[in-house]
């Protein structure tokens, strides 16, 4: 069976189709001796009620206050309440797309947030205090970065002269490290990136930490795995399907909660309709790996109206008495029915698949004495209507709208329920049916204005003014490249048969620059030490600052290596002190030999004796490769370290800066890592900025420029 079991187009065969679904479910359960006892455990009961999960890039500015260097949980939750009526859980996404920029692993990247894992734990506690569950992510493909030390009884973490660390001896397994992360942060579950499920060892490790930690695979789990996986997420399953189908995992195990999403779309109405017809949940994903694809107002309005119904009637939606696609009296209106046998409550989820508003006969029903009927989105009582020998519940739906209809025993119509209806009516009254997609403005941070100098300063070389059509090569990622610029802006349309993501992309754009001088060499550790001694500069956020130095002193032998473990602000501070600034992407390219048409600073072919290709296992002196000098006279512009530029963009949600030149490190083993190694002149990398502790890397340095008269 497919992950989404399609429904027949002919309603006449729906009864037989439902019978086949029931037969499949029962026969497979018997065949595999399915054991659902894990769902009976009270510590996992929260999972089947956790309908709305927010996929949070931890770099998101609504979440992280970059100026203050701290999380702002209250601001984030306020935004979620206003737009979506609140969320039930948050996925704290941290690694991709920047993992692989240096040897730090996925656990290091959590440790490098403010306060380390204790800081993340404080943020998790704040979410828990608001009734919101939390997840961390696990990347099984992260095998090319440094391993976790096993502790005193096993491997030891050793520091090398270049500032890197390595594990000597036994290292922890991924599952040990993951269990440690979960224990330290207090999260409630783990999203399993690219996986169909975790194995028994992973389950055992997490159970030993604390009961009730869920596993949530990205890819659809096999039915055998549903016994130990209480949640999962499905992507782009319902796109452009007229009749909402049945989610296989949800049908097989009614208490399994599946999150529908589509990371390449700002309009998730199709996915929401499918989730609604299956009594399941949604993964709200708006910041797609550092580019904003915020959902439209119609989707947000639907979610505000439907989520309270899911939460209030969660017992109904996880019951065994579920009938997909019951008859309705109006074309393009579809409905599913649930019942609770103990009180004969009946509930219908209804969707309108037409763009036009529809009012008419909804699901067929049998009117029973002692029951009252309600439209739970409109928040009002309704009366069944008779058409010949059939009774229908009336519906009034906006275009592509949805609702829930409820048959409730009269005795259950309490004052508290009436308050719920009043709240639902108020929510519906503020519905906004605008379907416009997000505006993604390109906000290029202004370049600092400096007075031109007449003479070329010592240690710098001249680059003449120029104008060209700049050809930029880059790696295609889900986050696009320039924010809102060129033809390759978001959203990429994922080709599921031939994925274009992570292939090489090429952009062309006009570029010009005035005459300038650029540092002959990257700024070295010795240069930066003089800056600190004279200026007294100390960063506001010190985590990771020059972490490769020993007690604030440059290690012996590294004086002439490029300074690393500095962020964009640290580099700008040095440049301002020196009366300079960072080069723009265009200026860097021109200085590296781009105007001469060179693929690399020295020519058209890669040559390992002309740059730091990574064989040294770290940085090398900036003057180590005289054969790699560019036509302008710049050294070390390929390999060794990525170089920061002044080409920073901000879309209001995340910041990114262009890196040039490549570095000595290239994480092996996975296409999901950020690209590394020496890079040609026209290669540009979009580096998502998080905060200083994460942005500082052992592979990123800089050089400076000044304008010339």
**For residues 346 and 407, is the Cβ–Cβ distance under 8 A?**
yes
User: 666 and 614: one domain?
Assistant: yes
pLDDT interval class at 496 (50, 70, 90): very low
pLDDT interval class at 69 (50, 70, 90): confident
User: 42 and 103: one domain?
Assistant: yes
Residue 461: inside a domain, yes or no? Answer: no
Residue 65: inside a domain, yes or no? Answer: yes
Question: pLDDT value at position 499?
Answer: 57
User: 298 and 405: one domain?
Assistant: no
User: 203 and 255: one domain?
Assistant: yes
Which two structure tokens, joined as six digits, stand for 106? 């996925």
Question: pLDDT value at position 291?
Answer: 82
d(CA 668, CA 686): 19
Q: State pLDDT tens for residues 134-148.
A: 999 999 999 999 999
Check whether the bond before 623 is cis (ω within 30° of 0).
no
Q: State pLDDT tens for residues 515-555.
A: 999 999 999 999 999 999 999 999 999 999 999 999 999 99
User: 281 and 353: one domain?
Assistant: no
User: 198 and 252: one domain?
Assistant: yes
- Give the three-state DSSP class for 425: helix
d(CA 34, CA 212): 20
**CATH number of the structural domain spanning residue 400:** 2.60.40.1180
Residue 14: inside a domain, yes or no? Answer: no
Q: Does residue 639 carry a pLDDT above 90?
A: yes
Can you say how many angstroms the Cα of residue 362 is from the centroid of all Cα atoms in its chain? 38
Q: Total structural domains in the chain?
A: 3
Q: Does residue 635 carry a pLDDT above 80?
A: yes
**CATH number of the structural domain spanning residue 280:** 3.20.20.80
Can you say how many angstroms the Cα of residue 406 is from the centroid of all Cα atoms in its chain? 36
**CATH number of the structural domain spanning residue 571:** 3.90.1580.10
Residue 180: inside a domain, yes or no? Answer: yes
Residue 291: inside a domain, yes or no? Answer: yes
Q: What is the mean pLDDT of residues 73-77?
A: 95
The full DSSP string for 517-543 is EEESSPPBHHHHHHHHHHH----SS-T
End-to-end CA distance of the chain: 71
What's the whole-number average pLDDT of the chain? 92
Q: Does residue 486 carry a pLDDT above 60?
A: no
β-strands 70-71, 281-285 pairing: unpaired
Question: pLDDT value at position 495?
Answer: 46
Residue 702: burial class (beta carbons within 10 Å; 0-12, 13-18, 19+): buried
Domain termination site, one of 285, 309, 333? 309
Q: Does residue 566 carry a pLDDT above 70?
A: yes
Question: pLDDT value at position 490?
Answer: 42
d(CA 4, CA 274): 9
User: 305 and 329: one domain?
Assistant: no
Q: Does residue 250 carry a pLDDT above 50?
A: yes
Q: State pLDDT tens for residues 649-702.
A: 998 898 999 999 999 999 999 999 999 999 999 999 999 999 999 999 999 999
d(CA 588, CA 581): 12
Which two structure tokens, joined as six digits, stand for 428? 């519906």
Cβ-proximal residues to 506 (8 Å cutoff; 6+ apart), any chain: 471, 472, 473, 474
d(CA 24, CA 115): 51
Residue 550: inside a domain, yes or no? Answer: yes
User: 379 and 262: one domain?
Assistant: no
β-strands 655-660, 684-689 pairing: antiparallel
Q: Does residue 18 carry a pLDDT above 60?
A: yes
pLDDT interval class at 167 (50, 70, 90): low
Residue 437: inside a domain, yes or no? Answer: no
Pick the residue with more confidence: 238 or 621?
Answer: 621
Question: pLDDT value at position 126?
Answer: 97
Domain termination site, one of 414, 429, 444? 429
User: 557 and 678: one domain?
Assistant: yes
Domain hosting residue 347, numbered range: 322-429
pLDDT interval class at 274 (50, 70, 90): very high
User: 383 and 241: one domain?
Assistant: no
Question: pLDDT value at position 1?
Answer: 58
Check whether the bond before 696 is cis (ω within 30° of 0).
no
Domain termination site, one of 278, 309, 340? 309
Residue 457: inside a domain, yes or no? Answer: no
User: 305 and 339: one domain?
Assistant: no
User: 230 and 329: one domain?
Assistant: no
Which of 637, 641, 618, 617 lies closest to 628, judged by CA? 637
């Amino acid at each position: 069976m497919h992950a989404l079991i399609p429904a027949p187009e002919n309603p006449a065969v729906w009864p037989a189709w439902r019978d086949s679904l029931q037969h499949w479910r029962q026969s497979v359960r018997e065949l595999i001796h399915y054991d659902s006892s894990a769902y009976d455990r009270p510590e996992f009961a929260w999972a089947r009620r956790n309908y709305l999960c927010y996929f949070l890039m931890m770099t998101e500015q609504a979440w992280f206050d970059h100026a203050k260097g701290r999380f702002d949980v209250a601001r984030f939750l306020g935004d979620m309440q206003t737009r979506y009526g609140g969320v039930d859980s948050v996925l704290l996404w941290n690694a991709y797309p920047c993992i692989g920029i240096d040897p730090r692993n996925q656990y290091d990247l959590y440790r490098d947030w403010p306060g380390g894992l204790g800081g993340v734990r404080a943020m998790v506690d704040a979410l828990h205090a608001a009734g919101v569950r939390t997840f961390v992510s696990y990347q099984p493909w992260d095998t090319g970065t440094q391993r976790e030390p096993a502790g005193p009884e096993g491997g030891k973490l050793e520091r090398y002269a270049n500032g890197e660390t390595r594990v000597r001896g036994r290292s922890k397994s991924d599952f040990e490290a993951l269990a440690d992360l979960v224990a330290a942060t207090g999260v409630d579950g783990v999203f399993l990136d690219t996986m169909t499920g975790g194995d028994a060892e992973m389950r055992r490790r997490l159970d030993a930490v604390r009961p009730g930690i869920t596993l949530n695979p990205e890819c659809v789990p096999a039915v055998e795995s549903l016994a130990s996986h209480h949640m999962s997420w499905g992507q782009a399953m319902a796109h452009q399907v007229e009749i909402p189908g049945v989610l296989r995992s949800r049908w097989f195990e009614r208490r399994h909660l599946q999150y529908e999403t589509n990371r390449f779309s700002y309009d998730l109405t199709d996915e929401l309709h499918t989730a609604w017809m299956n009594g399941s949940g949604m993964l709200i994903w708006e910041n797609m790996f550092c580019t904003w694809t915020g959902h439209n107002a119609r989707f947000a309005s639907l979610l505000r109206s439907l989520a309270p119904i899911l939460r209030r009637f969660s017992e109904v939606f996880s019951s065994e008495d579920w009938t997909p696609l019951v008859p309705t009296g109006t074309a393009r209106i579809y409905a599913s029915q649930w019942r609770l046998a103990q009180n004969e409550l009946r509930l219908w989820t209804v969707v309108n698949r037409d763009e036009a508003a529809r009012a008419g006969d909804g699901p067929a029903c049998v009117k029973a004495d002692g029951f009252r009927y309600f439209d739970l989105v409109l928040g009002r009582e309704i009366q069944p209507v008779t058409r010949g020998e059939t009774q229908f519940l009336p519906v009034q739906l906006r275009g592509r709208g949805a609702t829930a209809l409820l048959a409730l025993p009269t005795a259950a119509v309490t004052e508290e329920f009436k308050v719920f209806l009043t709240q639902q009516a108020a929510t519906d009254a503020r519905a906004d049916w605008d379907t416009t997609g997000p505006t993604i403005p390109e906000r290029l941070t202004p370049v600092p204005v400096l007075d031109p100098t007449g003479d070329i300063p010592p240690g710098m070389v001249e680059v003449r003014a120029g104008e060209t059509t700049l050809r930029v090569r880059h790696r295609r990622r889900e986050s696009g490249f320039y924010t809102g610029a060129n033809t390759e802006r978001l959203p990429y349309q994922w080709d599921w048969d031939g994925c274009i993501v992570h292939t090489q992309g090429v952009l062309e754009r006009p570029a010009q620059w005035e005459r300038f001088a650029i540092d002959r060499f990257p700024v070295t550790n010795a240069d930066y030490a003089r800056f600190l001694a004279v200026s007294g500069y100390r960063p506001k956020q010190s985590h990771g600052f020059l972490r490769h130095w020993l007690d604030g002193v440059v290690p012996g032998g590294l004086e002439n290596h490029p300074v690393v473990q500095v962020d964009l602000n640290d580099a700008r501070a040095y440049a301002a002190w020196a009366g300079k600034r960072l080069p723009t992407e265009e200026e860097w390219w021109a200085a590296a030999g781009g105007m001469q048409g060179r693929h690399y600073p020295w020519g058209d072919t890669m040559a390992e004796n002309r740059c730091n290709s990574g064989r040294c296992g770290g940085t090398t002196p900036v003057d180590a490769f005289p054969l790699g000098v560019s036509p302008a006279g710049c050294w070390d512009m390929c390999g060794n370290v990525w170089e920061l530029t002044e080409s920073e963009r901000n879309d209001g949600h995340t910041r990114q800066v262009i890196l040039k030149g490549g570095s000595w490190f290239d994480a092996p083993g996975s296409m999901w890592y950020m690209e590394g190694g020496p890079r040609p002149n026209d290669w540009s990398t979009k580096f998502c900025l998080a905060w200083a502790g994460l942005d500082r890397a052992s592979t990123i340095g800089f050089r400076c420029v000044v304008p010339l008269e």
